[in-house]
């Protein structure tokens, strides 16, 4: 595909060497590009919003899972983080993070790791069932902060706000425990991800804040320091004013993706990751381009396009300094294990040659990053992802 700026340089020119050495020329295989500038702007945007609203930001690190990206947060003042598994907690604890919330009902089969973490960091765990609190009470060797997860409408997991008997029994047990410190109530509004109406997202957010405060108020007299924590990128992106909560835990905003753009959480220009996939075959009879980039690279989330078609990614033009907004008339329409199929207009089909790189914005950046196991910055620097470290 033609470069956007095709400045002619004679091979004796010093600039010629620079150009030959540009980053794209060094990419030979399917690669996840990360635009550090966009990423840092996303980090800045949410940090500034939290400060302006006088709320603590405890960003979810499950999206990037990278020690180096974590440092960009640290430089912007982040001290407490959220993760989604004990293994991820260990990874970031090993990289100097000492205030970590594991935002999934804790896996009590792995008490050895729970105790290993509790010994060295301020560990926050989440529970939904009294059996979990009982197991922790019996087996914890070090103090831990315990949050009750409330189901405010997503219906994946959590205690229903009106389950008073269950809540009271769990809190009674917490009150007796010398290791568990009842810290607060939290929720994850995963149902915002299914909306594309920002008003619906506001309603979900306000409902959740209302319900979490109801639950907190029930126990406030006995636990005056109880916190309320929420965490989802759509609400935290769309709302400018956030009140009624002590803490927010968005994560995906570090990269954003096509799903978030579709919801209305971000503009295309804020998406900080892009796949670079080599063209390996062309089919002129149906204007389809085959790239090396399948479900082992992207994972398999999809979006429904305006015409009802299923989209696995949108194509952008790669340049030496980043990428364009999505091109019209060209989309990833299918993924198998290693192949991606791109359907294009005739004009765009003709612009891509065998061996070219196609830029593709991912539908779900968390899963794509987990599948790709590492990042390449626009200057060629490699950053790690937990999944590529063998840990």
Contact residues for its own copies (CB under 8 A)?
A: 27-29, 62, 84-87, 104-110, 112-113, 128-129, 131-132, 135, 155-157, 160, 190, 278, 280-283, 285-286, 290, 292, 295-296, 299-301, 334, 336-339, 341, 353-355, 357, 366-367, 370-371, 373, 387-390
Q: Which stretch of DSSP H or E encloses residue 294?
A: none
Shortest gap between Cβ of 72 and its own copies (angstroms)? 22
Per-position DSSP letters for 38-80, written without gaps between them:
HHHHHHHHHHHHHHHTT-EE--BTTTT--HHHHHHHHHTT---
Which of 226, 290 has the CB closer to its own copies?
Answer: 290
Measured at the CA of 15, the angle between CA 9 and CA 17, to 5 degrees, comes to 95
Token code pair at residue 74 = 């640290």
Which of 267, 391 has the CB closer to its own copies?
Answer: 391
Q: Between the CA of residue 215 and those of 63, 104, 164, 169, 218, what are the distances in Å? A: 29, 19, 9, 14, 5
Check: CB of residue 9 under 8 Å from CB of residue 16. Answer: yes
Shortest gap between Cβ of 321 and its own copies (angstroms)? 20
If phi > 0 it is left, if psi is from -120 to 50 it is alpha, else beta; for residue 90 that is alpha
Q: 3-state DSSP call for residue 162? A: coil
Shortest gap between Cβ of 104 and its own copies (angstroms)? 6
Shortest gap between Cβ of 53 and its own copies (angstroms)? 26
Separation between Cα atoms, residue 62 and residue 135, nearest integer Å: 26
Which of 270, 299 has the CB closer to its own copies?
Answer: 299
Shortest gap between Cβ of 135 and its own copies (angstroms)? 6
Per-position DSSP letters for 114-146, written without gaps between them:
HHHHHHHSEEEEEESSHHHHHHHHHH--S-EEE
Which of 226, 357 has the CB closer to its own copies?
Answer: 357
Which of 55, 111 has the CB closer to its own copies?
Answer: 111
Which of 108, 242 has the CB closer to its own copies?
Answer: 108
Shortest gap between Cβ of 364 and its own copies (angstroms)? 9
């Amino acid at each position: 595909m033609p470069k956007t700026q095709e400045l002619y340089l004679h091979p004796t020119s010093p600039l010629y060497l620079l150009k030959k050495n540009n980053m794209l020329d060094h990419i030979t295989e399917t690669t996840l590009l990360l635009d550090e500038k966009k990423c840092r702007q996303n980090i800045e945007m949410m940090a500034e919003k939290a400060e302006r609203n006088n709320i603590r930001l405890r960003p979810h690190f499950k999206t990037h899972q990278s020690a180096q990206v974590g440092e960009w947060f640290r430089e912007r003042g982040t001290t407490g983080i959220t993760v989604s598994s004990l293994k991820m907690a260990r990874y970031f604890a090993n990289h100097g993070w000492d205030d970590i919330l594991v935002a999934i009902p804790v896996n009590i089969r792995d008490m050895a790791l729970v105790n290993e973490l509790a010994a060295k960091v301020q560990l926050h765990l989440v529970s939904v069932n009294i059996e979990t609190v009982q197991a922790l009470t019996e087996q914890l060797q070090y103090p831990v902060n315990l949050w009750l997860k409330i189901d405010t409408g997503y219906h994946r997991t959590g205690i229903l706000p009106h389950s008073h008997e269950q809540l009271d029994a769990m809190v009674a047990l917490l009150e007796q425990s010398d290791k568990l410190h009842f810290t607060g109530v939290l929720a994850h509004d995963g149902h915002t991800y299914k909306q594309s109406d920002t008003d619906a997202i506001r309603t979900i957010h306000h409902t959740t804040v209302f319900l979490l405060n109801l639950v907190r108020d029930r126990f406030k007299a006995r636990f005056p320091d109880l916190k309320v924590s929420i965490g989802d990128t759509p609400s935290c992106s769309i709302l400018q004013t956030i009140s009624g909560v002590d803490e927010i835990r968005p994560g995906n905003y570090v990269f954003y993706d096509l799903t978030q753009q579709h919801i209305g959480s971000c503009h295309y220009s804020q998406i900080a990751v892009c796949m670079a996939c080599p063209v390996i075959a062309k089919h002129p009879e149906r204007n389809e381009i085959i790239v090396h980039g399948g479900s082992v690279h992207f994972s398999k989330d999809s979006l429904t396009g305006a015409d009802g078609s299923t989209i696995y990614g949108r194509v952008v033009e790669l340049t030496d300094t980043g990428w364009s907004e999505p091109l019209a008339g060209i989309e990833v329409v299918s993924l198998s294990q290693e192949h991606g199929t791109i359907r294009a207009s005739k004009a765009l089909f003709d612009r891509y040659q065998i061996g070219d790189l196609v830029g593709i914005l991912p539908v779900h950046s968390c899963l794509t990053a987990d599948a790709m196991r590492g990042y390449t910055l626009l200057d060629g620097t490699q950053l790690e992802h937990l999944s590529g470290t063998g840990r």
